[in-house]
Structure 1
């Protein structure tokens, strides 16, 4: 395949990221499989990104995620500076067949504003589409700019103007799904895991309360705001409470964290994360929002761990009740379902992951969308005259 794609991952974290980084992990999973299919990838990220690609574009030397804690008027130019670098690169060359953009809001707006002489664009929507109603409700990307979701349920809730630009959805994947059906069984412990950034939408307060109420061991694994380890949060003192996720943790989660039945271990990655998930009785998702993608869901299944969740967002698309997990619309039932999850077959979880959620499956789907977007917008990029 002769296709050059500019993959715009944004300026916030390196690719792959050092630990938690949802969008950056998606890009790091997708790109190697695209290159196996013959796609040439130009990565727009930060200089410290280490993902093997064919070419790199950057404005910032390091990830700028830390800047998000500063006041808006000090940080509002970060995304714009990165996008300005991307646009300058696009206008200076004629070899980019398509831009695959992952930068929330400003990426879509900038690509649409390039006008009819810009390249075809596929903008992936990784987030809650109830945000940015003025942008999404009035989007006009012409025939050149298209979007895709990461689940059907996410797109079903999108404003009409955004849906009219959609070319469908692609479920997220994980490298853990590769040959997951051949992975030997891991001895299960009695703990349950909630994996992900601690915030109100993820519902860690509900999970912690139910763990204390029902009596099952619970491990909370994920950062609180910018703090990846309990020691880092403790050292930050009262100033850390300026961050809303930190306030949520202290006010609503920490009262249940006793270091015994309920533990917060901070960010886990790599082998540590895999061992924690693989040995768990269940992965718990006590959601209070419409989860759009569910990376942690497919990771859990790949490691043979059933999912127990509130049936919101993409969860009903990813989970087969009674086979790979248990879903409910009543959050108070989650505690009893955690206990029942031990009856589900870990092998069934792994078989499902190997069939549905490998990076190769995701990449093949994206290549199909690239071709569709290019057919809809055949006009090539015109380089700036010199």
Structure 2
């Protein structure tokens, strides 16, 4: 197949540091190339995707001029003998393609703007558009208005070292942006209540509200002994951090669309303890690869019992449900199904 993939051009593919969508796009491209498909990526001009790259830009603020300019570029896809176009970016950037019979896949990695879904589903040539959600939580919101398939996010499990056992006093880990929605302060209180050490890793966003959250809710508990903060981590540091953890804590206070870090933890064999929000109950099979809970008190109780979870089951589920191979196969099958219509 000849496949065009589009992603917003704000961050290169793959990303230098943070960029979950861009990381997923890069992983998918590598899988499609390995399967013998021809891929062209429309993305940030500094991307290094390992396939043909068409670089483009957006300007801040994003405006009608961007829409016109980018559509002039993407509309040409309809005349370049592509079999399918797959966008992870703004639907406004492929408005003109909606008039083409070319099969179009639109992937949502964040909560969907349903007004846009309805608008584009109505505008697209009949039977030419299909949506994907990165969890049933996301897909369920789209389903009343357009055809949709759930294809989970995931990781290249070969890049993560499976650790079958950890030390008795292994710490709990929180890894992610340090902000209220991610529940960093909740992780601290749960760890303290469980009598376990906690290692916090991740960046504090620049916005004042997040800086204030860190200063008031997180920093006062950092003592370098019971609670440690190590800042942002690179891939090798992340692999070691997650692999040597007793459990990964996911005390989100919003409905997480997926949470790639959960798949990363499971790939290391590390159980996940998370709140029953968004996609968490889809990723975490209660009492199998971690625990799903409703409160800091429950999180602490499960942290005390974490050794009941078989770390081999965590790795197995990561490979079966959230590996790059599984995800590549699912997108490939979707493309074939749409092309055959």
Compute the TM-score of the two structures, normalised by the length of structure 2.
0.88
Q: Distance in 1 between matches of 2:64 and 2:243?
A: 37
Could you tell me which runs of 5 or more consecutive residues in structure 2 were left unpaired when the two chains were aligned.
none
**Do the aligned partners of 1:11 and 1:82 also contact (CA within 8 Å) in 2?**
no
Query: 2:264 aligned with 1:299, yes or no?
Result: yes
RMSD over aligned CA atoms reads 2.6
Query: 2:312 aligned with 1:347, yes or no?
Result: yes
Deviation at 1:85, TM superposition (A): 3.8
What SS does the aligned partner of 1:365 have? Answer: helix
- Runs (4 or more) in structure 1 with deviation over 4 Å come to 177-180
**Do the aligned partners of 1:283 and 1:300 also contact (CA within 8 Å) in 2?**
yes
Bigger RCO (CA 8 Å, 6+ sep): 1
Q: 1:362 to 1:85 in 2, by over 3 A?
A: same
Q: Deviations over 1:259-306 (max 9, x none)?
A: 332222222122110000000000110011222122111111110101
Q: Deviations over 1:86-123 (max 9, x none)?
A: 641542742222221111xxx22332454413632211
Q: 1:186 to 1:333 in 2, by over 3 A?
A: closer
Aligned length: 336
- The corresponding residue for 1:146 is 130
Q: Distance in 2 between matches of 1:195 and 1:179?
A: 15
- The corresponding residue for 1:165 is 147
- The corresponding residue for 1:57 is 54
- The corresponding residue for 1:28 is 26
Among 43, 46, 54, which residue is 1:45 paired with? 43
Q: Distance in 2 between matches of 1:38 and 1:52?
A: 13
Q: 1:312 to 1:186 in 2, by over 3 A?
A: same
Aligned pairs for 1:83-102 (under 5 A) are 84-85=69-70, 87-91=72-76, 93-102=79-88
- The corresponding residue for 1:216 is 196
- The corresponding residue for 2:164 is 185
Deviation at 1:27, TM superposition (A): 1.0
**Do the aligned partners of 2:200 and 2:229 also contact (CA within 8 Å) in 1?**
yes
What SS does the aligned partner of 1:56 have? Answer: strand
Q: Distance in 1 between matches of 2:50 and 2:34?
A: 12
Could you tell me which runs of 5 or more consecutive residues in structure 1 were left unpaired when the two chains were aligned.
65-73, 226-239, 377-386
Q: Deviations over 1:119-176 (max 9, x none)?
A: 32211100123xx353345442433232100111222234732xx232x110112112
